[in-house]
Amino acid sequence: MPFRNQHVMTLFHRENQNPILTAADWPYEASTIFNAGVTRLPDGTTLLLCRVEDMRGHSHLCAARSRNGVSDWEVDPQPTLLADPDHYPEEVWGIEDPRITFVPEMNQYMIAYTSYSYGGPGVSLAATRDFKHFERYGVVMPPEDKDAALLPRRIRGQWALIHRPVSNWGAHIWISYSSDLSHWGDHKIILEARRGAWWDANKIGLSPPPIETDEGWLMIYHGVRQTAAGCIYRLGLALFDLDNPEQCLRRGDAWVFGPEMTYEREGDVGNVVFPCGYTIGDDGDTINLYYGAADTSMALARGSIRELLDWLHERGKLESNTAMATETAASR
Ligand code: BMA
């Protein structure tokens, strides 16, 4: 990065081999590869469920697997999960940006993804055990809504989904609850976009699924800064109560990761870093954050969960409670 200030703390370190996956690696016709959902399979293999944009501009999902999580990717020879508009009309313009959560109680992976309908983006859910066969739940949050992930366990007996509806209130992060994963209620705002000059003004969204730590749910979220030259997508941190994830405990003021390298600055949509998943290293602390770069390729940056939490303790602030936040939002 030219002009990088030496006093800015580096919490995420980029992999030297970035970008780690591009359309050039694809075994069939594809325009761009980005915004992959991520999981580590029981045998240690890293699986990226990549968003693949085809030559029409519509997206589908395709799995790439690697033993070391960096190179030697084996990409499924055909799309892994295609939009199915005949049965799920909300997928008419494709499916995008999956977030994968392994749910021990169900012994399966739950994938929350964007279904791109005539009415705009909505949130759909699908379940899988092997990333070959998928059971769709259909659209669970109608448009306009996206940036969703399921928490891996029930909260007070209910499943919990983090998501980002857009309304007259703006584009804030919400949580909703369900007993059957199909019918959702108890909707609450948990993190608001700030306003004015802030890096996360007006529009924020969950990035990868929240990370469960001893100190709370660690959330990496994206903020969208609108400038005269277009948007800049950067990442920030917030921490939520483990048993009551509606309660934001701390939120950082500064962003912790943003586009700097050429492959992040330039592409179909420049100035975008957009992680939809991570793996945790064998040490239990290293986070391998996989992110879409400029809506064109996949890249990897590593951090330490301990360092992220320490940074939040030093630099984060206690958030006002959600009831107040909701009132602030409503008064706009
Ligand atoms: C967001 C999402 C992402 C995309 C980003 C930048 O709204 O649609 O899929 O990476 O915009 O284009």
Residue 183 lies in a domain: yes
Residue 7 lies in a domain: no
Which of 66, 99, 19, 5 has its CA nearest to residue 273? 19
Q: Which helix or strand (DSSP H or E) is residue 259 part of? A: none
> Residue range 199-203: average pLDDT?
97
How many angstroms separate the CA atoms of 55 and 29, rounded? 8
Q: Is 9 exposed, middle or buried (0-12, 13-18, 19+ CB in 10 A)?
A: exposed
Residue 118 lies in a domain: yes
R_g of the chain, CA atoms, integer Å: 18
CATH number of the domain encompassing residue 246: 2.115.10.20
Kindly state the DSSP code that residue 231 receives in the 8-state scheme.
E
Cβ 274 under 6 angstroms from ligand 1: yes
pLDDT at residue 267 in the model: 98
Cβ 96 under 6 angstroms from ligand 1: yes
Report the amino acid identity of residue 59: S
| 127 three-class SS | strand
> Residue range 20-41: average pLDDT?
98
Q: What are the tens digits of pLDDT across the range 64-102?
A: 999 999 999 999 999 999 999 999 999 999 999 999 999
Check the CA dihedral 217-175-179-99 and report its sign.
negative
Residue 158 lies in a domain: yes
In the chain, the number of structural domains is 1
For residue 287 the two structure tokens come to: 């986070």
Task: Give the ranges where the chain is alpha helix by DSSP (H).
Answer: 262-265, 305-315, 322-330
How many angstroms separate the CA atoms of 130 and 132, rounded? 5
Give the CA distances from residue 310 to residues 198, 235, 238, 304, 313, in Å, rounded to whole numbers and listed in that order: 22, 17, 12, 10, 5
> Residue range 219-240: average pLDDT?
97
Q: If you measure from the C-alpha of residue 43 to the centroid of ligand 1, how many angstroms do you get, rounded to a whole number?
A: 32
- On the question of pLDDT at 38 being above 80, the answer is yes
> Residue range 192-210: average pLDDT?
97
> Residue range 113-125: average pLDDT?
98
Instruction: Return the ligand 1 atom nearest residue 231 CA.
Output: 6
> Residue range 1-28: average pLDDT?
94
Q: Which residues pair with 14 in a beta bridge?
A: 301
Residue 8 lies in a domain: no
pLDDT at residue 324 in the model: 43
204-206 and 185-191 beta bridge pairing = unpaired
Cβ 272 under 6 angstroms from ligand 1: yes
Cβ 269 under 6 angstroms from ligand 1: yes
Residue 140 lies in a domain: yes
Cβ 166 under 6 angstroms from ligand 1: no
Domain range for 251: 16-331
pLDDT at residue 320 in the model: 60
Residue 34 lies in a domain: yes
Other C-beta atoms lying within 10 Å of the C-beta of residue 232: 19
pTM, rounded to two decimals:
0.96
First vs last Cα of the chain: how many Å apart? 38
Q: What are the tens digits of pLDDT across the range 55-65?
A: 999 999 999 99
CA 37 to chain CA centroid, nearest Å: 8
> Residue range 176-200: average pLDDT?
97
Q: If you measure from the C-alpha of residue 35 to the centroid of ligand 1, how many angstroms do you get, rounded to a whole number?
A: 8
- On the question of pLDDT at 327 being above 60, the answer is no
Residue 10 lies in a domain: no
Instruction: For a ligand 1 pocket test, name from 291, 295, 297 the mutation site with the most ligand atoms within 8 angstroms of its C-beta.
Output: 295
- On the question of pLDDT at 251 being above 70, the answer is yes
Cα dihedral 11, 74, 29, 123 in deg (nearest 10): -60
The DSSP line for 9-54 is ----EE-TT-S-B-GGG-SS--SEEEEEEEEE-TTS-EEEEEEEE-
How many angstroms separate the CA atoms of 290 and 209, rounded? 12
